[in-house]
Amino acid sequence: MQQRLIIVSGLSGAGKSTALRALEDMAFYCVDNLPIALLPALGQELARSGPSTPAAVGIDARNFSDLAAFPGILKAIRDSGVDCQVLFFTADRQTLLNRYNETRRQHPLAGHGGSISEAIDAEQLRLAPIAELADLSIDSSSLNIYQLRTTVRDLLGHGPQAPTLVFQSFGYKFGTPLDADMVFDLRCLPNPHWDPALREFTGLDAPVREFLEQQPDAQQLFADIRTFLEAWLPRFAASDRSQVTVGIGCTGGRHRSVYMAHRLGEHFRAQQDAGQQGRVLVRHRQLAG
């Protein structure tokens, strides 16, 4: 099996950075804006290292090496035994102009007083040696950032990946987690804190678990949250999310929320083991340390 190298290039604003981030999520080792003069050395190193980790390199028009040398460099890399593909991203002129106007960024080739349109012309000319040798040319004119990531993944033969699912218990009196994508409030459930025999335990301990498992409302809420997540997590995966954090809150973050986050984690880890769910993590904010 050959070592794999993806060379990513294209017009500024057409999606190169998005593509590199997508490749990084697909476990590629990524280097952005590498001078093409260093590509032969990288190809030799990859050929020696074997197919352990695929790599991706971004090359844009700011490259201070002579891009006219690209065809010979590409041939040398392939002759060394590296499976090298070239992805080139483009978009129509109006789309590129709109994107620059929306972000108010300066085009990398726009000199003092130069227009973005003139910079696009100069960039197309400079990148022509790469565009002519592209194995895949992707027009991003009608694609949003999520569609572009999905296109890259599909073209390279990587199916959709389920997002990492994080269950985080917390106490409302300490504030709601800022990184939670959705939050479920358990303060309506009977509180073990008010039982002196249970107060010093947490939701990870058997006495508290047994107490809550005897509460019909706790069991109904578990079933409702589980059903909701099973219905909607595939939608999050389809939108190319890499992680979904589910906040589970109670008053102090030690009993009800810990129990529920732990139990949900157990349920979805069983689906992970069956290949139906991505990685599952459980964190207890108020039990840390």
Residue pLDDT, tens place only, 187-236: 999 999 999 999 999 999 999 999 999 999 999 999 999 999 999 888 87
CA distance 201 to 238: 40
Burial of 87 (0-12, 13-18, 19+ CB in 10 A): buried
- pLDDT for 103 equals 63
Residue pLDDT, tens place only, 173-182: 999 988 899 9
CA distance 278 to 1: 27
Q: What confidence category does residue 159 fall into, taking pLDDT thresholds of 50, 70 and 90?
A: low
CA distance 231 to 183: 16
Q: Please name the residue ranges forming H helices in the chain.
A: 16-25, 39-49, 70-79, 93-103, 116-126, 128-131, 145-155, 206-213, 216-238, 256-273
Most confident of 2-11, 20-29, 189-198, 266-275: 189-198
Domains, the chain: 4-155 (3.40.50.300), 164-287 (no CATH)
Tell whether pTM > 0.95. no
- pLDDT for 213 equals 96
- pLDDT for 25 equals 83
Higher pLDDT, 200 or 289: 200
* Angle between helical axes of 145-155 and 16-25 (0-180°, round to 10): 60
Residue pLDDT, tens place only, 86-129: 999 998 888 888 887 776 667 777 665 567 788 888 888 889 99
CA distance 116 to 111: 9
Number of other residues whose CB lies within 10 A of the CB of residue 277 = 22
pLDDT at 63 over 80: no
* Angle between helical axes of 256-273 and 206-213 (0-180°, round to 10): 90
